[in-house]
């Protein structure tokens, strides 16, 4: 186990570390198993879309809504 003092890293170092971790995870996608509840949530969302109770927003609209919500 590696111990890293995250509070001593710069933002750039933290981002580089996150990118390295993500790359490592992506290289081993076959060994990562999603929990069963992920499938349940996806099925619920697909059903809501089919029933007209949910929909999609483009990414720019979603980002703007999130920014407005946080500010």
**pLDDT at 25 (0 to 100):** 87
3-state SS assignment for residue 32: coil
Residue 63 lies in a domain: yes
Residue 45 lies in a domain: yes
Residue 6 lies in a domain: no
Residue 9 lies in a domain: no
Q: What is the pLDDT of residues 32-54, one digit of tens each?
A: 888 999 999 999 999 999 999 99
Q: What is the pLDDT of residues 6-35, one digit of tens each?
A: 999 999 999 999 999 999 988 887 888 889
**Residue 43 domain boundaries:** 35-71
Residue 29 lies in a domain: no
Residue 53 lies in a domain: yes
**pLDDT at 69 (0 to 100):** 86
**How many separate domains does the chain show?**
1
User: Alpha-carbon torsion 25, 18, 40, 50, what sign?
Assistant: negative
């Amino acid at each position: 186990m590696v111990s890293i003092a995250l509070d001593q890293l710069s933002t750039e170092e933290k981002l580089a570390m996150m990118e390295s971790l993500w790359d490592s995870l992506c290289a081993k996608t076959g060994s990562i198993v999603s929990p069963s509840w992920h499938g349940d949530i996806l099925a619920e969302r697909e059903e809501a879309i089919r029933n007209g109770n949910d929909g999609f927003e483009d990414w720019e609209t979603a980002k703007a809504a999130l920014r407005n919500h946080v500010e």
